[in-house]
Amino acid sequence: MPTRNSILRCGYLLPRVLLLWALFDVMLRFAPPQWYAFRVHEFAMLTGPHDIGPFRTNLTYQNSRAYGDLASLGNCTDCRQYRPMNIHIDERGFANAVSSGAYDAILVGDSFGIGAEQPGGSTLASQISQRTGLSIYNACSPVRAITREHLMELIDQLGMTRGTVFFELMDWSLGYFRAAQEEPGFDGVDRWSRNVEYSPLANVSRELVGRLYDGQLMPNPYATNVARKLLPDRRPILFQLDDLRDATPDGPRLWARYFIVLNRELRQRGLRLIVILVPSKYTVYQPLIKDATRTNKSEAFNELQQDLPGIPVVNTTPALQQAAAYELEHGNLLYWRDDTHWNADGVRVAADQLQVRYASDFVRISGATKVTAISEKHSR
């Protein structure tokens, strides 16, 4: 039996176990993220001393054997596509390798724009940069774009008085206008509570516990969020369940109103807005999959485009659908089979569309003789 002063008493030992856990959790935040972030979304959840960006500043995440979230969620080991992943976060909390002196353009958008799933040099920002010669600041944020207020603040910080704002909008957002407009929680109490909620040890625990919930030993509660379909060549392809849902009827109208206001604000600052509409994987591959349920997102994008007279809009859906059909005949895909995001080929198709429509209109301010794509610098 323990004495009253023994350190192996419950009242002494157990609270210290909790304390040690908490201390270890705090200390891990200062370790390299690859120690405790096993997937890119776990890295994306990192919180810290933000400026206006969504990520902790001045940080590099590398993973030599990353694979898509859908394969992970759905326990689809046969669909995994291993690839290296490398993101650098700049001093403002955005995914840019190095700071440039001046920028011609800003790319605003969601995870499709961040390019987390791309090898260096293949992000949307770098592909547009390569085609247009513009120096582009990648200000994309996971899940949803930064707010208008943060965008204006960023423009001020970058000292931009002329140039272009590319707004990448994924069709998923058509069903979630209000959620996409909400303050993402990088400030004040929200930031504090996110920091408390975020736990590197939780990532490690999830990795451990996730192995138990493999769908056989234990049921996988997330598997229902993943839809597995077959391509015409019999290869399995995974979709996020959300992508199989229709856009809400008022989604295009609400987004159109948002872009009109944003366009007006940008014009007052001497900037120009170009909207890039990006379809989800399901919208692109739905015509190629036998017995696939039809969604209305293509029509919703058309509707949005019609509601934005006077604002340049590049709808990449038809080009991506066409290219997807063509590439599939050659065994290639434009989106990762095991993830919601596009791959380098998909980005290329979208960047080509932008070049075809607007390349001659761009204003270069940076004055660099050879503009190096920011994302190309990743690979250094």
- Establish if 216 lies at the interface with other proteins (CB under 8 A): yes
Residues 140-179 as x/- pattern, contact with other proteins by CB under 8 A: ----------------------------------------
Site for other proteins in 220-239 (CB under 8 A): 220-221
Q: Which of 134, 154, 204, 275 binds other proteins (CB under 8 A)?
A: 204
Q: Report how far residue 142's alpha carbon sits from residue 42's, in angstroms, rounded to the nearest whole number.
A: 11
Q: Which residues does residue 62 pair with via DSSP β-bridges, in sequence order?
A: 86
Helix, coil or strand: residue 292: coil
CA distances, 260 to each of 34, 129, 232, 275, 310 (Å) = 41, 25, 41, 11, 9
When binding is defined by CB under 8 A, the residue of 210, 241, 248, 265 that contacts other proteins is: 210
**In angstroms, what CA-CA distances link 323 with 268, 289, 298?**
38, 15, 16
Spatial separation of the C-alpha atoms in residues 325 and 334, rounded to whole Å: 10
Min dist CB 116 to other proteins, Å, is: 23
9 vs 162, beta carbon nearer other proteins? 9
Q: Which of residues 223 and 365 has its CB atom nearest to other proteins in the complex?
A: 223
Place of tokens 């394969």: 71
Nearest CA-CA partner of 68 in 279, 341, 324? 341
Confirm or reject binding of residue 48 to other proteins (CB under 8 A). Answer: no
DSSP assignment of 125-152, as one string? HHHHHHHH---EEE---SSSPPPHHHHH
Q: Please report, as residue ranges, which positions from 10 to 29 form the binding site for other proteins (by CB under 8 A).
A: 10-11, 13-15, 17-18, 21-22
> Could you say whether residue 205 binds other proteins (CB under 8 A)?
yes
Q: Is 217 in the site for other proteins (CB under 8 A)?
A: yes
Instruction: Tell me, by CB under 8 A, how many residues bind other proteins.
Output: 35
Which residue number, 221 or 270, has a Cβ lying nearer to other proteins? 221
Check if the beta carbon of residue 359 is closer than 8 Å to that of residue 259.
Answer: no
Structure tokens at 280: 């989800």
CB 252 → other proteins: shortest distance, Å?
29
- Asked if residue 208 binds other proteins (CB under 8 A), the reply is yes
**Measured distance CA(256)–CA(245) in Å, rounded:** 20
Which residues of this protein are in contact with other proteins, per CB under 8 A?
Answer: 1-2, 4, 6, 8-11, 13-15, 17-18, 21-22, 196-197, 199, 201-202, 204-210, 213, 215-221
